[in-house]
Structure 1
Amino acid sequence: MTRKRTTTAQAEDDMPDTGAGTPEEGGGKRTGAPGPMVAVRDLVRTYGSGPAAVRALRGATFEVPRGELVAVRGRSGAGKTTLLNLIGGLDRPDAGRVVVDGVDLAGLGERRTAALRRDRIGFVFQTFGLVPVLTAAENVGVPLRMRRVPWREREERVDLLLSLVGLREHAAQRPGELSGGQQQRVAIARALANRPALLIADEPTAQLDAQTGEAVMDLLRAVVDDEGVTVLMTTHDGGLLARADRVLELRDGVVAEAADPEAGGA
């Protein structure tokens, strides 16, 4: 597979000049040019202070092109989840800049950051995060309820998404009645409910067996190829890394394109 290459220098040169500006209701001020889906520059995040401080990110710079599946690998504790949380607006960096879908997160308050997450970003976690008392269909419909989407439109969207992930016949089942792979597919359907531009997946196959993990990866690949969604995921599974359009490596708080994309991380 031939993968597109983006160097750190290119990421810095091509960084969209969004500026904070006055955010619009949909989540922030956007640029006219498409640009990359995600652009990160000089990102720093430290936990604690003094001798016990842990510097998870030390000036990470990279970008994620639109319509690609990009994987980030790195050893356990390298800061992969921290990186995704900063890109998804779940945490704030100590320094540096994050631009998502043309929106500079630094210029957003809490309300508009929440709107950005609701309208443009979908999240998939390794622990699934489904509501136990709700059916598969009801779990998928939660983001649509939050946006007060009309009932008929909501039902049609949920049915379409459950069909997409191959679980239409399981719509009335609750998470405890589904396998781990089925629960993760419901979680992916829920993440796609609001038609996000970016899907962030944190170790989405970590709790699944190899065969089920491969099926979930097939689904993520299809989401990119057929739905045009950009996917940014973390994983250290060599088989999954081989399915990505590009692989980035997080080491010592810095992100670089992996020298051997198909090799697994520690």
Structure 2
Amino acid sequence: MTESIVAQGGTAVAGEPGRGPMVRIEDLRRSYGTGAAAVHALRGVSFEIPRGELVALKGRSGSGKTTLLNLVGGLDSPDSGRIVVDGTDLSGLGESGLLELRRDRIGFIFQSFGLLPILTAAENVGVPMRLRRADPQEREERVALMLSLVGLGDHARQRPGELSGGQQQRVAIARALANRPALLIADEPTGQLDAETGLAVMRLLRAVVRSEGVTALVATHDAQLLGLADRVLELSDGHIVEHAKAL
């Protein structure tokens, strides 16, 4: 069994990419608004995620799950606290550094799929590599491999409107993996899918975490899906509670 996630205090020390935990969070705080009307989404959150694990994040609606994912992914900034992703302290990065981190080391999967309707499945998967200006042959080979990995090798030329919801989410997973990210961040990736399709997508996420050697942080409220995670973190009243996976 891999090292468990640690809900802890202490100081987060930035290391080198490829070493130490994939995610290290220290005393993270984020509020919206001011005075009596302020909403305190995160109240001193601290935890670590070891490399190679699929970690589920649960909590009631409005508990701060999306806030936490946006902070870890460099899409938002905390009021205070420290975030270290793959050895990089996000507080030391400017906007260009954050853009590079999101492009090269983090893959995002959203509930709404986020596919471009005028592009084929293959073209959608290739978008991140085009942004990185990858060699065209390398891009084509990687796109074909990723579509095959998610079971859509025969659907490369179809557009999102010609695919089912489950197939669209598989394309989104393939796109998130295109640039070989170290970390996958998924916000309710099965929220628009029926129970059976959602379970299949979550099983796929677990499989690609293993096959691609990535770490995944997935927000979900589905108890059946939580059972597929290596660990579960629960957000409650702005704090993190850790749940070891049941044996």
TM-score category, normalised to shorter length? over 0.9
Q: Residue 258 of structure 1 aligns to a residue in which SS?
A: strand
Q: Is the counterpart of residue 39 in structure 1 residue 38 in structure 2?
A: no
> Match of 2:55?
70
Which residue of 199, 206, 213 maps to 1:221? 206
220-229 or 69-78, which moves further after superposition? 220-229
Q: CA deviation at 1:227?
A: 1.3
> Match of 1:243?
228
Which residue of 5, 8, 13 maps to 1:17? 13
Q: Is the counterpart of residue 144 in structure 1 residue 140 in structure 2?
A: no
Q: Is the counterpart of residue 52 in structure 1 residue 37 in structure 2?
A: yes
Which residue of 212, 227, 233 maps to 2:218? 233
137-146 or 223-232, which moves further after superposition? 223-232
Corresponding letter in the other structure for 2:188: E
Please list every run of at least 4 consecutive aligned residues from structure 1 whose deviation after the TM superposition is greater than 6 angstroms. Answer: none
Corresponding letter in the other structure for 1:162: L
- Cα separation, 1, equivalents of 2:123 and 2:211: 25
Corresponding letter in the other structure for 1:99: V
> Match of 2:182?
197
Cα 1:138–1:33 shift into 2, 3 Å: closer
- Unpaired runs of at least 5, structure 1: 19-29
Instruction: Calculate the TM-score normalised by the size of structure 2.
Output: 0.95
CA contact (8 A) 2:5 2:231 kept: no
% of aligned pairs identical? 68
CA contact (8 A) 2:12 2:26 kept: no
Q: Residue 71 of structure 1 aligns to a residue in which SS?
A: strand
> Match of 1:208?
193
> Match of 2:167?
182
Q: CA deviation at 1:238?
A: 0.8
Q: Is the counterpart of residue 134 in structure 1 residue 126 in structure 2?
A: no
CA contact (8 A) 1:165 1:219 kept: yes
- Unpaired runs of at least 5, structure 2: none
Corresponding letter in the other structure for 2:195: A
CA contact (8 A) 1:16 1:102 kept: no
Q: CA deviation at 1:106?
A: 0.2
CA contact (8 A) 2:6 2:49 kept: no
Corresponding letter in the other structure for 1:51: A
Q: Residue 31 of structure 2 aligns to a residue in which SS?
A: strand
Count matched residues. Answer: 246
Q: Residue 140 of structure 2 aligns to a residue in which SS?
A: helix
Q: CA deviation at 1:151?
A: 1.2
> Match of 1:169?
154
